[in-house]
Amino acid sequence: MDKFIERGRFAFVYPVVLICGLVVHLLANGSTLQHQKDTYYLLSPNNVINLVFAYKGNLIWTILFVSLAAYQIKIRVSRSDLLPRDARTTYPARWHRLGKEYAVKIILKNLLLYVIFFVIDCVFVWTGGSCSSSATKSAERCRKEGGKWENGFDISGHFCFLTNVSLILWLELSSIQKYLNSDERTPSKLWRVLLYSNVSVLVIWAFVLSVTAIYYHTTLEKILGLLMGYICPVIMYWLVPSHTALRQLLY
């Protein structure tokens, strides 16, 4: 597990889930898949795992991200003695810097997802889609009204959203894992609890995506959803940190 997280192999999970799902979809008989979707509860849109882990995914993600951020601040702020004297700052200053970084990451993630899903909804409407219950141009609002979001090119919100939020958590887990390994400390019980609770949710999200990959959307809708699923992690964990001006401004 540690090596899997530390070496970033998690980045390949989502393309693999999609490819495997597409192969199953291709090999299976269309009417069989439809029958399974109509028969098995866990494959229906209203199954509790989809309703809780997908549609309440933002709440679940926020709880897990804040817990990882709090743990990171705890272990990094408390270990300033490892820093060379000239790099050592005061406890409040370190706490403030790390606290600001994680607050910015939460805002940035939500801003980016807001823009991403605005684009997904625009594409849907531009390609002839609409909501059956009102003139709303938002998929989320349409669903909340009990309407049907239909007849447009529907980039997979599941692939886009769950890939984005999963990769952010994987990257934070990887950052903590590398720090603990560099510090050669035995992992605390708290870290193990955090690690396994995050990984449990990440596995459930991967399961939800495997169902999406086999039973929902067209191939192109899923591929585009997957590709858009890398926008947040690329901006938050590569673009911002690799540009000095952006990093100093935001993190």
What residue ranges bind ligand PKZ (CB under 6 A)? 45, 47, 50, 54-55, 57-58, 110-115, 117, 139-140, 143, 149, 154, 156-158, 161, 208, 211-212, 216
For residues 179 and 212, is the Cβ–Cβ distance under 8 A? no
Nearest distance from C-beta of residue 19 to ligand PKZ, angstroms: 16
- Fill in the amino acid letter for 130: S
In the bound state with ligand PKZ, the residue whose beta carbon lies nearer, of 89 and 219, is 219
* Nearer residue to ligand PKZ within complex by CB, 132 or 181: 132
| Sign of the torsion angle spanned by Cα atoms 232, 233, 235, 237 | positive
Instruction: Give the nearer residue to ligand PKZ in terms of CB position, either 117 or 237.
Output: 117
| Buried/exposed 193-232: b ≥16 CB within 10 Å, e otherwise | ebbeebbebbebbbebbbbbbbbbbeeebbbbbbebbbbb
The active-site residue, picked from 25, 96, 158, 243, is 158
Asked if 35 is an active-site residue, the reply is: no
**What do you get for the CA distance between the two ends of the chain, in Å?**
29
In angstroms, the CA 201 to CA 196 distance is 9
When the beta carbons of 4 and 55 are compared against ligand PKZ, the nearer one is 55
CB of 170 to ligand PKZ, least distance (A): 18
Catalytic annotation present for 158: yes
- Answer whether 64's CB lies under 8 Å from 201's CB: yes
Which residue's beta carbon is nearest to the bound ligand PKZ? Answer: 157
Amino acid at 173: L
CB of 219 vs ligand PKZ, minimal distance in Å: 14
Task: Give least dist CB 27 to ligand PKZ, A.
Answer: 19
- Catalytic residue annotation: 158, 217
